[in-house]
Structure 1
Amino acid sequence: RGAGESKLEYDRRHVRRRIEALEARLAELEKRRGETRRARQKAGAPVVSLVGYTNVGKSSLLNALCGAEVLEADMLFATLDPTARKLTLPSGLSVVAVDTVGFVSRLPHKLVEAFKSTLEEAAYSDVIVKVADAADGERESQLEVTDQVLAGLGCTGIPQLTVYNKCDKPGAVPFAPGVLLTSAKTGRGLPELLAALDAALADRVRPVKLLLPYAKLALAEPMRTRGSVTAEQYQESGVYFEGFVKSTDLHLYLPYLVE
């Protein structure tokens, strides 16, 4: 430190420099997340976001669904940066599954600002999966926190599913029929969750059977990137496709639909 500078003044200057460096790093991360988000939107693949109170097993659930290697840890904020993985639903539709930072009650304002771009991932979703811990006695109040955060992000118009994870844990109470119960550890309930996602996306994508003439094969690209192709066969008059297209793209394929 400089001549005559007290230890306290030196520490304060060091803390200010550290805060400025962290703020610059957060701004860089937010820019990068924005670019990633815009790339996903341009591709047009449906996005499913896993949200919920911290430490309810969202990363474990993403790993179980996608076979992805995402950090899992019994700690607060194990996931600070959104993690996106490809997920294929039972119908054959390919979607992007995003794991987000966990919510907590009374999150300090400055911390909310720091995680804002992470939390905003939910606002760009086609479906939001709210995850709770089935064995946690505070799960309903935690879901209320989740709902409050989602409402603050303007997510009320997005289809939402509530999933009670960790149903294999001791202390998990019985639930009414129809409630989505899952266990990332045992795999229980994962088929039901995948089927529910298919149903939630039913009005946003359309199953199609197409015969595209060779001169129109450029139309296969939006089908691959914004929907999915489940079957492809080259024929004399063109290429036959089965799969899904976004509802907003359906008009492009109307002349080429086959029964």
Structure 2
Amino acid sequence: GGGGARRGAGESKLEYDRRHVRRRIEALEQKLAELEKRRGENRRARQRAGTPVVSLVGYTNVGKSSLLNALCGSDALEADMLFATLDPTARKLTLPSGLNVIAVDTVGFVSRLPHKLVEAFKSTLEEAAYSDVIVKVADAADDEREAQLEVTDQVLAELGCGDIPQITVYNKCDKAGAVPFQPGVLLTSARTGRGLDALLQKLDEALADRVRAVKMLLPYDKLSLAEAMRSRGSVTVEDYRENGVWFEGFVKSTDLHLYLPYLEK
């Protein structure tokens, strides 16, 4: 009888643990659905605003979050651990041309990702598919860097990102063991700042058709037009004059038609 009692107690405990796990899974699935909905709303808001999006993608632990911090001066999570960035982190980044973009840090890729984890990370990986430029980041000191870039390329291909401009960056070039590369290879170090200017310039080149430098005098009754310039481009000079406000800066190419009557002749 005692043995049967013990088995019954054990079975009850096992069933309790199973129910607890099922409840936990359901709660996580609900939270994931809420996160995916919010990301979708944020993505649609960025698309309506017309702000270009730059996604940092790559294998886990290549320094994407550190690179984002160095570029944007932000406080995105940095951690030397698997899947440190479970939720994409977006930050405003102003390029040398003055164009404002959104830089997005995505979850690190892993080769042979277990099937049960694919759905959990799908919505974070999909951020890359909605980008205007993809920055593929590799660890310059990792012997597996080329294999990791192949994994990144495979995932991007599965997401349908083949037509999106891509820039390959070898980060952590200041680490011991980083091997020399051929001229033209983009090397960066989030720690020392090496190569960051070159990366920003590359982004400007990739988005060159998205922005135009302008000088114009906006009449006071047309100052509402300046909002698009401030939010989707940038203002470098703003001078109040008798007949209006003189602006110098950058506007999106798709907004240029708004300012044609007021541009400097």
Shorter-chain TM band: over 0.9
Q: Quick check: 2:136–2:167 contact (8 Å CA) kept in 1? A: yes
CA distance in 2, matches of 1:78, 1:97: 17
Moved >4 Å (runs of 4+) = 2-5
**3-state SS of paired residue (1:115):** helix
> Is the aligned partner of 1:115 residue 2:121?
yes
CA distance in 2, matches of 1:109, 1:29: 20
Going from structure 1 to structure 2, the CA distance change for 1:158 and 1:4 (only over 3 Å counts) comes to closer
Match of 1:248 in 2: 254
Identity %: 86
Q: Which runs of 5+ in 1 are unaligned?
A: none
Instruction: Looking at secondary structure, tell me which structure has more helix per residue.
Output: 2
CA distance in 1, matches of 2:264, 2:216: 6
Of 200, 214, 221, the match for 1:215: 221
CA distance in 2, matches of 1:228, 1:126: 18
Of 54, 67, 74, the match for 2:80: 74
> Is the aligned partner of 1:47 residue 2:56?
no
Cα deviation, 1:115-136, whole Å, max 9, x if unaligned, reads 1111111111111111000011
Match of 1:12 in 2: 18
CA distance in 2, matches of 1:113, 1:207: 43
CA distance in 1, matches of 2:65, 2:107: 10
Of 222, 225, 241, the match for 2:231: 225
> Is the aligned partner of 1:153 residue 2:165?
no
TM-score, normalised by the number of residues in structure 1:
0.95
Match of 2:5 in 1: none
TM-score, normalised by the number of residues in structure 2:
0.93
How far did residue 137 of structure 1 move? Answer: 1.0
Cα deviation, 1:132-167, whole Å, max 9, x if unaligned, reads 000111111111111111111121111110000000
> Is the aligned partner of 1:165 residue 2:168?
no
RMSD: 1.6
Cα deviation, 1:46-96, whole Å, max 9, x if unaligned, reads 211111111000001111111111111111111111111111212222211
**3-state SS of paired residue (1:180):** coil
Going from structure 1 to structure 2, the CA distance change for 1:4 and 1:87 (only over 3 Å counts) comes to closer
Match of 2:3 in 1: none
Q: Quick check: 1:212–1:240 contact (8 Å CA) kept in 2? A: yes
**3-state SS of paired residue (2:174):** coil
Q: Specify the code of the residue in structure 2 equivalent to 1:233.
A: D
Q: Specify the code of the residue in structure 2 equivalent to 1:98.
A: V
How far did residue 32 of structure 1 move? Answer: 1.3
CA distance in 1, matches of 2:162, 2:10: 57
Cα deviation, 1:84-116, whole Å, max 9, x if unaligned, reads 111121222221111111101011222121111
Report the more deviating stretch, 90-99 or 71-80.
90-99
Of 22, 27, 32, the match for 2:28: 22
CA distance in 2, matches of 1:211, 1:7: 76
In the alignment of these two chains, the number of paired residues is: 258
Q: Quick check: 2:50–2:232 contact (8 Å CA) kept in 1? A: yes
> Is the aligned partner of 1:174 residue 2:177?
no
Q: Which runs of 5+ in 2 are unaligned?
A: 1-7
CA distance in 1, matches of 2:97, 2:211: 11
Is the radius of gyration larger for structure 1 or structure 2?
2
